Amino acid sequence: MSYKEFDLFNPTEEHKMLRETVAAFCASEVEPQAHEFDKKEEFNLPLFKKLGDLGLLGITAGSDFGGSEMDAVAAVIAHEELSYSDPGFGLAYLAHAMLCVNNINVNASDEIKSRILPKLCSGEWVGAMAMSEPHMGTDVMGMKTQAVKNGDHYVLNGQKMWITNGATDENKTPADVVLVYAKTGEKNGRALVSTFIVEKGFSGYSVGQKIQDKLGMRASNTAELVFDNCKVPVSNLVGNEGDSMLHMMRNLEIERLTLAAQSIGIARRCIEVMSKYSEERQAFGKSLSFFGQIQNYIGTSYAEYKSAKAYVYDTARRMDLSSHSGRLDSDGVKLVASTMAKNVADRAIQVLGGYGYVGEYHVERLWRDAKLLEIGGGTIEAHQKNITRDLSKHLVL
């Protein structure tokens, strides 16, 4: 598929160059290793660090702190292109660049940013964000992890589960930097949730179990993080106690937008595969593309993909990374795009038949990876709830 739609999908020459750079890197570096690392359920850390050389690991971070200081459209382009080849690797990138780096860039003090961000942007350090717990996902106020202030430090206790980049290798080495949400008390009967930066080497910070045998996104490491009387300096508190809900809201929009961008990359690859296969493969003396049911699969997939892609890029174009202003459409694009990608991948398997069921043609891996996007970063049910509530307050269509 060509990139002639420079008005929406490549609004500037800088965006066009970024897409070409990432696409070339994916073709030469990401594509050749994707199947192998998915099969091994391993995170390709050396390849990940190369993203720092391209300026991608701090794509939205300030230039004063080692970042590329690009916009939401640039973030979408990077995630689409990486996920075209390897969504699992792309998810590890998202956890680092969006959940950790962008979060710190938007919410932390200059002192924290100047100390932490350059190493994250260069790839020297790998970052993560820890919110979910073994017994809770979207119920943030139900978390049990607590931090108690004790002089010049906080004592952090609890467990976090399903943390992408929580472990960076097979030896369960923890992420170099992880943003941790923890309760720090109550105010007016409501829990105060605060944000802490925990660094590798802090006593009491370790990886519990590394999650194996996942359905998809196997090229990204998922782990349980354990905080057992973990001592965190007061200076590693982001903002003030009780600020976490604001931090989350500021960052959830770009998280959900880039997860939607992953869906766009998955769908684009699946459409290319099934379109090419249907032209080359014959049945009853005719190409598969001659048959109406195959045309239905391909035509419907293309229309849904293009519709979702336009929604994703239009939302990115209007998103201000420094403010919390677009939850309605960040929920909307992920709701639409995630299910679209799963359905397109499913149709691709159907078009390819037996070949679609094995790894050689990639679509079975993309189908497995796509399912996570209906769950991670907010379930599709959570998006439906948020959209309904937002429309009841501000009915502007």
Active site residues: 255
What's the Cα-to-Cα distance from 384 to each of 135, 152, 314, 334, rounded to whole Å?
Answer: 22, 43, 20, 10
> CA torsion 134→137→143→148, rounded to 10°?
80
Instruction: Tell me how far apart the terminal alpha carbons of the chain are, to the nearest angstrom.
Output: 32
Q: Are 181 and 131 in contact (CB under 8 A)?
A: yes
- Which residues does 227 contact at the CB level (< 8 Å), separation at least 6? 145, 156, 157, 158, 159, 160, 180, 198, 204, 205
Phi and psi of 152, rounded to 5°? -95, 15
Q: Are 121 and 66 in contact (CB under 8 A)?
A: yes
Looking only at the bridges linking them, the beta strands covering 282-283 and 286-287 are: antiparallel
